[in-house]
Amino acid sequence: MARTREFDTDAAVERAMEVFWRKGYAATSIQDLVEATGVGRGSLYAAFGSKDGLYEAALERYARQSTGRAAAALERDAPVREVLRELMLGMVDETVLDPQRRGCLVTNTAVERLPADRTAGRVVGDALDALTRSIRRALCRARERGELRADADVTAMADFVVTALQGIRVQGKAGADRRRLADVVDLALSVLDIPDRSTK
């Protein structure tokens, strides 16, 4: 008869995610994970197979949470410039108000693990694709409402926003202050040429 797992897998993944997010993959030891989760080595290996397996589970959890929050924010019924500005400034604040300046685990993984780690690459790619799709949907709705030109390339615009957000995350992790990053947000929105309806 198989032995019942004696720990909360979701809680273990959440705690492991915090460690990987703070320290990165390479600097995180199995002992770090044992101490953070309160789960013995043997049980961790039995549940996740390896450190890589636990990292994949933690990264997938982070990606689901972050892309889910972004998708919900982008569904808000408001002018798209306002929606995008709020999303981007929210990510600025999330980065600069974090005392540990951990940045974004998806972005951190792209920098640390890719292209060598194909599994992590899949999770990162899926997360960025999901964010891009959510932004593109918001831009499509805006185009239908007449907020954008009829010939606006919403695919390129969505890719540009995601690229700007990744740069903001890296700059924020490197120590850029809120004013500098907020200026980047405003410049990005001006490049997109989305009318500011709040001034009308």
Distance between CA 196 and CA 68 in Å, rounded?
26
Which pLDDT belongs to residue 3? 47
Whether residue 200 lies inside any domain: the answer is no
Whether residue 146 lies inside any domain: the answer is yes
Distance between CA 174 and CA 111 in Å, rounded?
13
Whether residue 2 lies inside any domain: the answer is no
Query: What is the tens place of the pLDDT at every residue in 6-33?
Result: 789 999 999 999 999 999 999 999 999 9
Number of domains in the chain: 1
Query: What is the tens place of the pLDDT at every residue in 136-179?
Result: 999 999 999 999 999 999 999 999 999 999 999 999 999 999 99
Task: Provide the whole-model pTM.
Answer: 0.91
Whether residue 160 lies inside any domain: the answer is yes
Q: Which residues of 63-78 are buried (b: 16+ CB within 10 A; e: fewer)?
A: beebbeebbebbeeee
To the nearest whole percent, how much of the chain has pLDDT over 70?
95
Whether residue 90 lies inside any domain: the answer is yes
CATH of the domain at 107: 1.10.357.10
Whether residue 199 lies inside any domain: the answer is no
DSSP assignment of 82-109 equals HHHHHHHHHHHHHHHT-TT----HHHHH
Which pLDDT belongs to residue 35? 97
Range of the domain at 160: 9-194
